[in-house]
Amino acid sequence: MRYISTRGGIEPLSFREAVMTGLAPDGGLLLPETVPRLPVQTLEAWKGLTYQDLAAEIFSLYADDIPEDDLRHLLTSSYASFRHPEVTPLVSLGDIYILELFHGPTLAFKDLALQFLGNLFQYLLRQNGGKMNILGATSGDTGSAAIYGVRGKENINIFILHPHRKISRIQELQMTTVPDANVFNIAVQGTFDQAQAIVKAIFNDLPFKASYSLGAINSINWARVLAQVVYYFYAYFRLASDRGGGEVLMAVPTGNFGDIFAGYLAKRMGLPIRRLILATNENNILTRFVRAGDYSLGQVVPTYSPSMDIQVASNFERYLYYLYDQDPARVKEAMAAFQETGRLSFSPEEVSSVGKDFSSTSVSREETLSTIRHFWQERRYLLDPHTAVGVRAGLLCQEDHLPLICLATAHPAKFGEAVQAAIGEKVKLPPPLMGLTDKPSRCTILPAEVEAVKAFIRSHALR
Ligand SMILES: *Cc1c(COP(=O)(O)O)cnc(C)c1O
């Protein structure tokens, strides 16, 4: 399988190159040249596979330059860190199903991709004898999942910037209590946007980037998307064994369009998803896009689901490529226009084509809390605020009594304050979060300046 850029400006890459490249040099995102359409017999044959075996089948379609035994080994060790034997169990609540994606080491769905990506980086570096310094900024969940993905790995150091005292205490402790020597937490004295701008500026300094072999772990990495395709299939097969085949709906709480884009790929591969329900909080640019063809920037407002408090969805360009009939010239032009004006608009024909794959609704803060409260009181099931946004949107967008699978993207204890506000009780901490406050923590506080962060990297990077 070869990989191309959504903007058409590069020679095709292999899977290995695509993983190491991250963002395409022409500014576009990488996609496989073709998305294989699976015959019904293949779906039938995959039905009973374990999570790891299913992952190996899906990866081998897209990563044909890695021997299958090696892939299997990488996937098995990546998911051994999950606390549930099924990795992503599907829980039935009667009329809806919850796909629990939070059994990894940092209790959010990002572990599914980043546990694997860490192992894959280490494997590729071992083969080419290289070293890598990962640099990223986080407003919460990504940082800890990335740190847990590469902690203790040889030939990799990781530098994660977070805004000093502006993330939740639990999120901060999850990152700063990791004792491995290859992990460097930097608290910048500024906002998340400043931290992100510093990271961007450093990546744009190409000589610096090259001499320190800087690598990125953000959600545009193709291997992250691919790892997320697996649980859509897995959930479908678990449901099918419960109530037979047929079409389903899947509701996905969405921020950067990464998770739901994986669902779109699964649908393109032939998984019978009638529609993907794109759930947003009050930051609803993607809902406006699906419903009215209006993709225009607004102000970010803080909500109870901070990992979805996003306006520019970094994976949206991948979907645009398919909406524009795989025409990279149109994507390039649209992205330039968006850069310029902060908006894109779509014709009624395009909106109706979007509607074949997606429906969408935006969920308010109040509805988020009332959904958590309702599911706790009526069913004794505790939703985290992100999952609650997805569940609420899923129920509102139900059609034809189709089975509904809602993706649960975080453990409720990770966002305990909001959950407590909803149900009026303290949330019990699961073992990975217990005792965090007693552990020694390490973090370097730096001014929000590019030069200060560069100097820190110079003195701690692997060369
Ligand atoms: C990152 C995140 C999301 C949003 O996922 P995207 O891939 O950015 O759409 C939703 N819920 C939680 C808990 C997250 O950490």
pLDDT in 10s for each residue of the chain, 463 residues: 999 999 999 999 999 999 988 888 898 999 999 999 999 999 999 999 999 999 999 999 999 999 999 999 999 999 999 999 999 999 999 889 999 999 999 999 999 999 999 999 999 999 989 999 999 998 878 999 999 999 999 999 999 999 998 888 889 999 999 999 999 999 999 988 889 889 989 988 989 999 999 998 887 899 999 999 999 999 999 999 878 889 999 999 999 999 999 999 999 999 999 999 999 999 999 999 999 999 999 888 999 999 998 888 889 999 999 999 999 999 999 999 999 999 999 999 999 999 999 999 999 999 999 999 999 999 999 999 999 999 999 999 999 999 999 999 999 999 999 999 999 999 999 988 998 989 999 999 999 999 999 999 999 999 9
Q: Which atom of ligand 1 is nearest to the CA of 102?
A: 13
CB 105 within 8 A of CB 148: yes
Which residue's entry shows tokens 């190409």?
A: 206
In the chain, domain spans? 90-105+223-423
Residue 249's SS3 state is strand
CB 8 within 8 A of CB 332: yes
**pTM listed for this prediction:** 0.96
Question: How far apart, in whole angstroms, are the C-alpha atoms of residue 146 and residue 160?
Answer: 9
- pLDDT tens for 48-92 read 999 999 999 999 999 999 999 999 999 999 999 999 999 999 999
Atom 2 in ligand 1: which residue has the minimum CA distance?
A: 307
Active-site choice (47, 110, 153, 426)? 110
Q: How many CA within 13 A on the CB side of residue 230? A: 30
**Ligand 1 centroid, distance to 409 Cα (angstroms):** 7
Question: How far apart, in whole angstroms, are the C-alpha atoms of residue 144 and residue 9?
Answer: 34
CB 251 within 8 A of CB 397: yes
Residue 110 known to be catalytic: yes
Q: Which atom of ligand 1 is nearest to the CA of 141?
A: 15
Q: Which atom of ligand 1 is nearest to the CA of 386?
A: 11
Residue 274's SS3 state is strand
Q: Who lines ligand 1 at CB under 6 A? A: 108, 110, 141, 219, 253-260, 307-308, 386, 409-410
CB 421 within 8 A of CB 369: yes
Element (H, E) at 142: helix 141-150
Which residue's entry shows tokens 């039935």?
A: 92
Choose which CATH entry (3.30.360.10, 3.30.70.360, 3.40.50.1100, 3.40.50.300) describes domain 90-105+223-423: 3.40.50.1100
**Ligand 1 centroid, distance to 452 Cα (angstroms):** 30
Q: Which of 256, 314, 387 to mutate to test the pocket of ligand 1 (most atoms within 8 A of CB)?
A: 256
Spatial neighbors of 366 by CB under 8 A, at least 6 apart, are none
Spatial neighbors of 231 by CB under 8 A, at least 6 apart, are 51, 87, 88, 99, 101, 112, 407
**Ligand 1 centroid, distance to 9 Cα (angstroms):** 29
**Ligand 1 centroid, distance to 380 Cα (angstroms):** 24
Question: How far apart, in whole angstroms, are the C-alpha atoms of residue 363 and residue 284?
Answer: 9
| CA 34, 37, 42, 48 torsion-angle sign | positive
